[in-house]
Amino acid sequence: MREINHFIGGASHTGNSGRFGDVFNPNTGQVQARVQLAGKAEMDAAIANTVAAQRGWAATNPQRRARVLFEFKRLIERDMNELAELLSSEHGKVIADSKGDIQRGLEVIEFACGIPHLLKGDYTIGAGPGIDVYSMRVPLGVVAAITPFNFPAMIPMWMFGVALATGNGVILKPSERDPSVPVKFGELMMEAGLPAGVLNIVHGDKEAVDAILDNPDIKAVSFVGSSDIAQYVYARGTANAKRVQAMGGAKNHAVVMPDADMDQTVADLVGAAFGSAGERCMALPVVVPVGAATANHLREALIPEIAKLRLGISTDTGAHYGPVVSAAHKARIENYIQMGVDEGAELVVDGRGFSLQGHEGGYFVGPTFFDHVKPTAQSYKDEIFGPVLQMVRAENLAQALELPSKHQYGNGVAIFTRNGPAAREFAANVEVGMVGINVPIPVPLAYHTFGGWKRSAFGDSNIHGPEGVRFYTKIKTVTQRWPSLDAGAAVTDSSFIIPTMK
C-alpha cells in the first residue's frame, strides 16, 4: 500500500512515531494509502530544520525570492492535470473543481510574486539635525500553516505563498485526509529553486498541532478549519505569544429580493449550495426569500433544477459534484437531514440513500432541500458542510438582514436584487465579513483579503492580500545620525531629556 511520508529538508522523510492515518478514496470507500502522523519530537525536529534554513532565505533579496515563486507557478501549471487527478482521488471533488481549487491558490502565488513592492518601508530625511528615520518590514522567522481537507491546494498556497515571499520559513501541516498534493507542492518548490528546509510538510493530528502551538520557534500560526478548533488554536497559540489567524466555520445566507433576476439567481444558488458537495466555507446553504410570493416562486424554480443535478465519481466529466470526503462526514450530514425533519422543516428533496452503481461503497449524498426552516432550529444554527439547502422565509428586507447579522457565523453573505439602494443598505449594515451583490460566492481576489466575522474568524488579521503581508512581517524602525568626518567639529553636549533630536 502507498505510504505518504513527511517532506523535510528538501526530501521525503519517513517518520518514527509509529502512528499512521488511513487515506480513503471517497469514490469507492476503500483505503488507498496511509499517511505518517508526527509526534511532538518529529515536529520539533522539523521546526528546528526550518529555523536553520530560514536565516539564509530571509537574507535572500526579495526579487530573487519572487523568482522562485514565479517558477513554482510555472511548474504548477505544467502539472495541473496530474495534480487535479491526485487531489480528486483523495478529496472526491470532480476534476474541474480540483483545477479550480489549484487555480485560486495560484492567484495568491501570482500576488506573492509582486510582494517586493509591499515590503518597501518609509523614509524621512531630516527628522532632526542630521538625523534620518526609516522603517522596514522584516520576516517573523518560522511560521506554521494548518490547513483543512476541503481545499488541499488553494488554502496551503494562500498561506505559504505570502509567508515565503516575505522571507519566512514555513511548517505546513495539511489535512491528513488528503495530504498528497501538499507533498507535491514541497517537491515542486525544490524544483523551482527553494532552498531545502525553507518549506517543510509534516503530517499529523492534534498531537502535531499542539507541538506547533507550543514550540517557541513558531512565531505565527495560520489556521482554517471548524470554529471550535479555530478557537482552540487561537487561544493556545496566543497564550504562547504567537500571532494567530484562525478561520472557522460558516453558515452563509443568500437573500433574494422580489425584483431579483430569478433565472440567474436559481442557477447561482444551485451551483453555490451543491457545488463541491457543499464542502466549502463560502457555500450558500441558506436561502432567504423576501416575501411569500418570492419564496413560492423560488421554491418552484429550484425543485426542477435540483433534480437535474448529476452525482458521479470525481473523474466523471459530466458530474456536477462527487462524494463527500469520508464515511463519518456522510453520516454527519445525513444526521443533520434527519434533525431538520425532526425540527419540523419541510423536506422537499431528500438526498439520503443515494447509491451510485458500481460505487456502492462511495460516500455520496444527494442534493437535499428544506423549506419552512425556523431560525430557532439547531440544523439552521449549525454548519452542516454538505449538499443541503435550507430555505428560511423573511417578510421584509429588515428581517432578512437580521438573519445573517444575528447568526453565530459571519463569513459570507449574498443579496440578489436589481435595487441599488437596497443592495447598498444591505452591504453597509449586514454583520458579515464578505458580501456578494448578485455574486453567490464572494471570495475576494488575491490582492484583496479573505476573512469573516464572529465565530467564522479568530484574530485580528485576514488571509492573503496586503493583510497577509502585514501578518507575516514586523516593522523595524531605524533612527540614524552620522557624526561629522571633520575632526575639528564641535561635540554636542549630552542630553538627558527626551526628545533628543535638537
CA atoms within 13 A on the CB side of 492: 11
Between CA 184 and CA 354 the distance in angstroms is 34
Question: What grid cell was written down for 28?
Answer: 469507492
Nearest of 205, 171, 225 to residue 37 by alpha carbon = 205
Nearest of 476, 475, 448 to residue 463 by alpha carbon = 448
Between CA 110 and CA 70 the distance in angstroms is 7
> For residue 127, how many other CB atoms are within 10 A of its CB?
15
Question: What grid cell was written down for 302?
Answer: 429550484
Catalytic pick from 4, 229, 254, 281? 281
Question: What grid cell was written down for 271?
Answer: 451551483
Residue with C-alpha cell 466523471?
316
Between CA 269 and CA 295 the distance in angstroms is 14
Between CA 413 and CA 253 the distance in angstroms is 5
Decide: 370 and 347 in contact? Cβ < 8 Å: yes
The residue type at 361:
G
Between CA 474 and CA 442 the distance in angstroms is 30
Residue with C-alpha cell 526530501?
11
Question: What grid cell was written down for 317?
Answer: 466529466
Decide: 314 and 325 in contact? Cβ < 8 Å: no
Between CA 417 and CA 438 the distance in angstroms is 7
Strand partners for 481: 131
Peptide bond connecting 499 to the previous residue in cis, omega within 30 degrees of 0: yes
Residue with C-alpha cell 515565503?
164
The residue type at 314:
S
CA atoms within 13 A on the CB side of 53: 23
113 is an active site residue: no
Question: Which residues belong to the active site?
Answer: 281
